[in-house]
Chains A and B, each alone.
Chain A
Amino acid sequence: AQSVAQPEDQVNVAEGNPLTVKCTYSVSGNPYLFWYVQYPNRGLQFLLKYITGDNLVKGSYGFEAEFNKSQTSFHLKKPSALVSDSALYFCAVRVQKLVFGTGTRLLVSP
């Protein structure tokens, strides 16, 4: 069965520093991978997706993610974090339905 793991409950980073939010997946066949962000009392906002093609995917708000098939990973990255990036981030894989990781809370300090 497909699954997604986000090994960190929380990531802390200072504003201006690069950030990485980790995600690994387990799926048979080609993975369709997604990152979403959730702000308090809101739904999920789409950041980016990998379907096929270039391993480096660029998304909204300056985020990008690198698909690594050998490591079955799809880590979310941003070169320079903003305080406004503080939110809950979800990685998801789609095989017939979206299966989400447990989420990683990102805290960016001023």
Chain B
Amino acid sequence: KAGVTQTPRYLIKTRGQQVTLSCSPISGHRSVSWYQQTPGQGLQFLFEYFSETQRNKGNFPGRFSGRQFSNSRSEMNVSTLELGDSALYLCASGALGTGDPYGYTFGSGTRLTVV
């Protein structure tokens, strides 16, 4: 079956702009989590969605938001970009609600560079 698809793979934006990242989970998975990876902070949890509802949220400012659609695809939006938002953004497709509720499969990520 197809894996987790994140688009775009690379993105360059200017400070102050906003950006939207997309994640399509594995077919049948209804959970999508987002993580930010930076050299200084490591892997930080942003939020998790399950069946279009946000289940958990990390400690990020309100500039970071997300949503999930009825087909389980998720989008993450960052408004008023700052240089510190430069990172690899990873999406995880979660098997919650299936026979393997602890399974997580990650996408290849979106590399965001803010200049």
A49: chain B residues within 8 A (beta carbon): 102
Report the minimal beta-carbon distance from B9 to chain A, rounded to whole angstroms.
9
B56: chain A residues within 8 A (beta carbon): 96-97
B48: chain A residues within 8 A (beta carbon): 97
Stretch at the interface among A34-42, A54-62, A72-80: A34-42
Main secondary structure of the interface of A (DSSP, over half): strand
Q: Is residue B67 contacting chain A, with contact meaning CB distance below 8 A?
A: no
Q: Is residue B33 contacting chain A, with contact meaning CB distance below 8 A?
A: yes
B108: chain A residues within 8 A (beta carbon): 42-43
**Complex contact B111–A90 (CB within 8 A):** no
Q: Is residue A17 contacting chain B, with contact meaning CB distance below 8 A?
A: no
Q: Which of A34, A42, A101, A103 contacts B104 (CB 8 A)?
A: A34
Report the minimal beta-carbon distance from B71 to chain A, rounded to whole angstroms.
21
B104: chain A residues within 8 A (beta carbon): 34, 46, 98
A34 to B35, CA, bound (A): 16
Q: Is residue A14 contacting chain B, with contact meaning CB distance below 8 A?
A: no
Report the minimal beta-carbon distance from A91 to chain B, rounded to whole angstroms.
11
Return the 9 tightest CB-CB contacts between A and B, nearest first. A43-B106, A100-B43, A44-B106, A43-B108, A102-B42, A97-B56, A43-B109, A97-B45, A43-B107
Binding site for B on A (CB under 8 A): 32, 34, 36, 41-46, 49, 51, 90, 94, 96-103
The 6 sampled A-B contact pairs (Cβ below 8 Å) are A32-B102, A36-B106, A43-B106, A46-B105, A96-B55, A98-B33
